Structure 1
């Protein structure tokens, strides 16, 4: 799929929103990618995962043992990546504010993991997920996401494969452009508490 085709899927599913949004990272943006709307259609979710699986180099793809994603946003795309790769898919939760495996999920020591996200903005959530996977005994060999909205600025210590990379500016709460500051903000994300800005 081309970037234009992928973004057309976001627009047709009302998953690309415009306004004033507070992101899970605590930063503000005039655009929000609501991947849950994109992924609510199973056929579309499978198509996106298959397209992303095709972008991962074959040698890395063949080395992955399991897919692990952070809840909430990464659960559906993580599951679909598991399907696309023919692997099990687990998810991390934050019951006490830090990611951990629950529900009987576990990783075998050294198990090779693809950490899968829906959207990467600063990369903080992904880095926290990678750390939790390592703490649980897994070896993260790659990270993936539907959207890298950092335009390549988010950095990881493993290869990172987004389906599409966008330049969607985000701002600190005390550094908003006037047009954004004049618009009431909403917080459509799933994280209950925002980190300090």
Structure 2
């Protein structure tokens, strides 16, 4: 009998392959050129994809960062991921609050960098979420901003590691990177 999370992982990979993966030349946010692209939002914004991402990330966070009380990352890639984890965790009776790290401080009002910070509290242990890791730049920005706002980062979690140095960059800062998939799942 196949365990439910293994079935969920297989189905999420199918959705990512069908909806999010493309073999074409692109320039990535890191500035690097690539012959393939993975737009995880195409899957994360599907009802089924949202559910599967929430379940699989929640499982990974509970294994690797069991004391986390929140999950979030740099907008826009991490927004649906944080939402998925928050909803799924609540339904599972193990609520994790979502938060969003802005790329720039809010231009009015409080000028805050992190949305959802008030639900977490000072020194709250959190997990950083990312859709695709290439160089690790976005993940590192999210970690740095979360720490500067007083959060305790327990680790980073990504849907896909492109295997282009991002893991090494993140782990060089002393943070673990846990990924659900790698480039090898899409390009054997």
Query: In the alignment, does 2:8 pair up with 1:11?
Result: no
Unpaired runs of 5+ residues, structure 2, are 1-5, 90-94, 106-111
TM-score by length of 2: 0.76
Q: CA deviation at 1:133?
A: 0.3
Q: Which moved more, 1:140-149 or 1:78-87?
A: 78-87
When the two chains are superposed, the root-mean-square deviation of aligned CA atoms in Å is 2.4
Question: Looking at both structures, which has the greater relative contact order when contacts are Cα pairs under 8 Å and sequence separation is at least 6?
Answer: 1
Q: What is the distance in 1 between the residues matched to 2:115 and 2:12? A: 33
Q: What is the total number of aligned residue pairs between the two structures?
A: 163
Which range moved further: 87-96 or 50-59? 50-59
* Residue among 70, 73, 93 paired with 2:74: 70
Residue 99 of structure 2 contacts residue 116 of structure 2 at CA under 8 Å; is this kept in 1? Answer: no
- Any gaps of 5 or more consecutive residues in structure 1? 169-197
The correspondence of residues 139-154 of structure 1 with structure 2, limited to 5 A, is 139-150=152-163, 154=167
CA displacement, residues 98-124 of structure 1 (integer Å, 9 cap, x when unaligned) = xx6255744522110101111111111
Residues 75-102 of structure 1: CA distance to partner in whole angstroms, max 9, x if unpaired? Answer: 0012112223321101011136xxx625
Q: TM-score, normalised by structure 1?
A: 0.73
Match in the other structure for 2:181: 164
* Structure 1 stretches of 4+ moved >4 Å: 2-5
Structure-to-structure mapping, 1:37-56, within 5 angstroms: 37-56=42-61
- Higher helix share goes to which structure? 2
